[in-house]
Amino acid sequence: MFADDTKIWCVVKQVEDNLLLQKDLYSMAEWSEEWLLRFNPEKCKVMHIGHNIKTQYYMKDNGINRRLMETDEERDLGIFITSDLKPSLQCVKAANKAMSVLGMVRRNFKRLDVEVFRIIYKGKTSSGILHTSLVPVPC
């Protein structure tokens, strides 16, 4: 078993604040070793939101410090989060998904009236709409 989908955050206003977050990362790694729910440091990522203080974080893996990868965007539960917290990537991804479904419907159903098209399109996009509607910012 692995400790998937764990999130940890800390407000970093100055370089020294990153020590608190690093301490928490080490504590989480110790806890995961004790409970045999190991973290995979290669899958762990760091996102800097709202500041330009470049810090590096590490996680212990079998006694070896592994540097965590940095990212500017991440997908979680179908929602795209970016380091600038702008919803534009989420909107682009949702629009691309809708256009993809529209193209599939057009290719496979040559003669459709409006009502049948609505039924098919809504059926193909309903699960995607649930994920994209979690972001309360209009596109």
pLDDT tens per residue, range 97-124? 888 888 888 888 778 888 888 887 777 6
Q: Which of 60-74, 80-94, 118-132 has the highest mean pLDDT?
A: 60-74
> From CA 96, how far away is CA 103, in angstroms rounded?
10
Domain with 64, as residue range(s), is 15-71
Between 127 and 42, the higher pLDDT residue? 42
Looking at 71, 90, 118, which one is the last position of a domain? 71
Same domain membership, residue 91 and residue 58: no
Same domain membership, residue 46 and residue 29: yes
Residue 67 lies in a domain: yes
The number of folded domains in the chain is 2
> From CA 131, how far away is CA 128, in angstroms rounded?
5
Same domain membership, residue 67 and residue 116: no
Helical (H) or strand (E) element with 97: helix 88-108
Output the pTM of the full model: 0.65
Predicted confidence band of residue 24 (pLDDT cuts 50, 70, 90): very high
Residue 106 lies in a domain: yes
Same domain membership, residue 63 and residue 48: yes
